[in-house]
Structure 1
């Protein structure tokens, strides 16, 4: 492809010939031919086979929003001639990253690294990688795509939060949870035998009395549960920055719970996003799910999600407005502790209150740990 400089030289050559030829100036014809020949030579230079092997690596493939992510290019000259004037262009979610590739002698390799933009959360395609080859005078350029697209997952930022202490007990021995591990020692009731149940838990007296295999249901009585509701309505946030902060808050809450091996349900305006039961590695799943959450014009108000939230444990509602505070207050009797987190600039006149609801207002994620109740 002829560059802007190449087209300019071709136009200037034609103009010189058009002005000088009618007056019999032979020099004008020589200059015009030389200019056009330079443009043609540049085009032929770029048409020559590249003879390059290019490989890209993205490290890491999952990164928190704002943290560095690096792409590394491994370029090898497999031809017999030296390559110079190479420029690599990579596309990362609409942003073009330009990298200069040093001159390569025959059968030599170079490694070039460059940072990728991670300001926006979500699945970020990287590529395709385009290598631009220009002639020594910059009159022509040839662009060749190499390799495949890589995927960079930009996940929410998080801060570590302490466990929330609920003040009500729903079991004689403490909190009861049906998602407890089978090795728990607290008896919570009897149920019919299901294939796969541990035979050691069969209650033989009840089995003899009923004629049906009955199994003891054991629970972990000290296993607190948490429900986190993220408001995903467009009208609840002034802009993308406020919504990104809300996602960071929801991720911090859910990850802090799962790291302590406690169950958590994560709800949005479009339904349940995740139900973690306290198993190992669930924090990674929380971050992966929240990495792709977006605001939706069809999102329901938090009250609709709260109706499906069950009862017991702790409820955390995250929103960019206080409009859903009344919804949280309306269900406070169903939970041991209700916490409402409003993100964004501080409201004029102070924070509104609601009976039975702990209200937090933050404008930065670093403020969350300090405002978090102990």
Structure 2
């Protein structure tokens, strides 16, 4: 019963109820005109029901020419309709939602139908295409019967990015791992020679230097190394609306984070992205950009996002925090404290009203970004301490 009632539109319910009431009122008062109006309404409702009887056995395939585009680009959607059964069916409409709009096609006859329409994009985001739905009803809109045929598809609109230099040089130089101050007896970065101590691996004895020792009580000399580790970037984009005076500042922040992530992927650097709550850990370039496409304002503050990023990327060698102009330096230090003290931290503040600047400190390096085009020159300004 609920399914039958759901087919009737609010207009159809109004016509059916009013027709019955008018019939009863006309019969009580003896008004033939009112009875005629009621009969006309009920007959119209009955004819509308006849137009919705039956099902269309069809196969619908919805495909996108491009599943990922950059904001401002375009894709196209192809809808193929093919009859699966032999029975004839009345004409019906096929609806394909595209974001907030709907593309509607009329399907008539038994022949297959092939429709292609463009999808233009203006802003970053995810456009949901579908699900494809058949709609059977009447011209007056008294009844509407829908059948969902296909699962929706997603069109990822990636943010606009700017090309950056390889991270082998510049502020974020961290290519192929970096040398730390932690001593090790087995690594690649040679540090110095020291006297042999019980328990040292004899394979690292430097025989030539030991033979050149001139003192009688000299001991063997062994190699000492500095630990190196594979580079791992942790990129955090603040998603709190209070951090950005303008929504466009947030878009610049997302584009800046995406630009760094793309360059890290091209340099084969492991990257963890926490973009306003969207997490992507050690994914390819396309998956990283997908997380930026889904990023939106949320209630989670920057300290919570950095804590989440630090938990996911436990071996991070560089932390990059991107936020707006509102958070103070103490707020940034508190957020950056989620990462280990030995991890260099770089904060990128988006502030179109300020001049592009680089302010290094012992705790973290703070960069001020005025516009996205300034990012390459800003990142080439130095190295974190």
TM-score by length of 2: 0.62
Partner of 2:300: 297
Q: 1:314 to 1:33 in 2, by over 3 A?
A: closer
Which residue of the partner structure matches residue 73 of structure 1?
Answer: 79
* Residues 271, 305 of structure 1: 8 Å contact kept: no
Q: 1:44: how far off?
A: 2.2
For residues 134-283 of structure 1, what are the structure 2 equivalents within 5 Å? 134-163=137-166, 165-166=169-170, 177=178, 188-189=189-190, 206=204, 228-232=235-239, 235-238=242-245, 241-261=248-268, 274=281, 282-283=284-285
Structure 1 pair 230–25 and aligned structure 2 pair: CA distance change class (3 A): closer
The equivalent of 1:197 in structure 2 is none
Gapped runs of 5+ residues in structure 1?
179-185, 191-202, 210-216
CA shift at 1:106, angstroms? 1.7
| TM-score normalised to structure 1 length | 0.63
Kindly state the Cα deviation for residue 252 of structure 1 after the two structures are TM-superposed: 0.4
Q: Deviations over 1:166-223 (max 9, x none)?
A: 48999xxx99748xxxxxxx96359xxxxxxxxxxxx9965999xxxxxxx9x99xx9
Distance 1:147 1:317 in 2: 40
Partner of 1:3: 9
Distance 2:30 2:299 in 1: 72
- Measure, in 2, the Cα distance between the counterparts of 1:255 and 1:135: 52
Aligned partners of 2:272 and 2:309 also within 8 Å: no
Q: What SS does structure 2 have at the residue aligned with 1:300?
A: helix
Q: Following TM superposition, by how much is the alpha carbon of 1:251 offset from its aligned partner in structure 2, in angstroms? A: 1.3
Verify the 8 A CA contact 2:68 2:157 in the aligned structure 1.
yes
Task: Please say which of residues 227-236 and 155-164 is displaced more in the overlay.
Answer: 227-236
Q: Which of these residues, 323, 329, 335, is aligned with residue 327 of structure 2?
A: 323
Tell me by how many angstroms 1:8 deviates.
4.6
What is the rounded CA distance, in whole Å, between the counterparts of 2:103 and 2:65 in structure 1?
17
- Residue of structure 1 in register with 2:184 after alignment: none
CA deviation after TM superposition for structure 1 residue 42, in Å? 0.6
CA 1:187–1:244: 2 relative to 1, 3 Å: same
Distance of 1:68 and 1:155 partners within structure 2? 12
The answer as to 2:119 corresponding to 1:115 is: yes
In structure 2, the residue corresponding to 1:139 is in which secondary structure?
coil
Superimposed CA distance per residue, residues 140-164 of structure 1 (whole angstroms, 9 cap, x where no aligned partner): 2211111234344444432212346
- Whole-Å separation in 1 of the counterparts to 2:374 and 2:17: 61
Shift of the 141–167 alpha-carbon distance from structure 1 to 2, 3 Å rule, reads closer
Corresponding residue number in structure 2 for 1:50: 56
Is the CA contact (8 Å cut-off) linking 1:169 and 1:175 kept in structure 2? no
Per-residue deviation at 1:84?
Answer: 2.7
Aligned-partner Cα distance in 1 for 2:322–2:308 = 12
Q: 1:346 aligns with which of 350, 353, 368?
A: 353
**Unmatched runs of 5 consecutive residues or more in structure 2:** 1-6, 180-186, 192-200, 208-224
Quick check: 2:60–2:132 contact (8 Å CA) kept in 1?
no
Question: Which of residues 353, 356, 369 in structure 2 aligns to 1:361?
Answer: 369
Q: What's the secondary structure of 1:111's corresponding residue?
A: strand
Instruction: Supply the distance in 1 between the matched residues of 2:316 and 2:272 (Cα, whole angstroms).
Output: 12
